[in-house]
Amino acid sequence: MKTFCKTGLLALCLSASAWAGTVQVTVLARDGQPLTDAVVRVEPTGHTPVAPAPVQVQVRQEGLAFVPALTVVPAGSTVEFVNLDRFEHHVRGTMGQALQTASSTGGFELRLGGRVEGRPAPAAKELLAQAGPIQLGCHLHGSMRGAIYVTDSAWVARTDAQGRITLENVPEGPAVVRVWHPDQLLDAPPRSVTVTPVTALQLDTPIQPRRRR
């Protein structure tokens, strides 16, 4: 919308701003604390989301952990897994809503040798074509867990340390807000809202994050 305004298309700018709202969501965990690294998706009724342009991202295996623990990317993006540890790791990508889901559909597996001094760190790329959450694990180290959320919508954001997200340019009117978190056991119930020029809401979820080691 700002682009339209800058190009001087005043009529288009005004008509666009008439329906574009800002949505702020604060997500709380079961214990009432802010829920960090949750993915919030706003689905305006009757509007087809526009997918953001694909990107290239890197997920490192470092100190027996996936870093970052959660990555949010548009569908069609490529993720490069890099092993910075001196020992071998494995990457298992499982697509599905919950941790031990029976409805997982496909995924990928990679094996990355340990890093050797003076050589490039072992790496492998994976194309993420399908939207949805992916759980990351390593067969060799059961404590290693990570996640990638692949989105087909620009109306998606991850919560910060305060459990908050802000989305701009959301069409005004009825919408459904969904939350996903890597540690959830079940999908949190969706919340119906009416998007106005500025909409702020708090979502109490039954999700309790595990402690990161």
Q: Which residues bind Cu ion (CB under 5 A)?
A: 89, 138, 140-141, 144
Q: From the CB of 64, what's the least distance to Cu ion, in Å?
A: 7
Cβ-based nearer residue to Cu ion, 61 or 151: 61
What SS3 class is residue 7? coil
Q: From the CB of 93, what's the least distance to Cu ion, in Å?
A: 14
Q: From the CB of 78, what's the least distance to Cu ion, in Å?
A: 22
Residue 109: CB atoms within 10 Å: 11
Which of 52, 97, 95 has the alpha carbon at shortest distance from 77? 52
Cβ-based nearer residue to Cu ion, 81 or 149: 81
Cβ-based nearer residue to Cu ion, 60 or 158: 60
Cβ-based nearer residue to Cu ion, 140 or 201: 140
Q: From the CB of 21, what's the least distance to Cu ion, in Å?
A: 44
Q: Containing H/E element for 160?
A: none
Q: CA–CA separation, 146 vs 126, rounded Å?
A: 15
Q: CA–CA separation, 74 vs 165, rounded Å?
A: 17
Residue with nearest beta carbon to Cu ion: 138
Which tokens go with 122? Answer: 């072992």
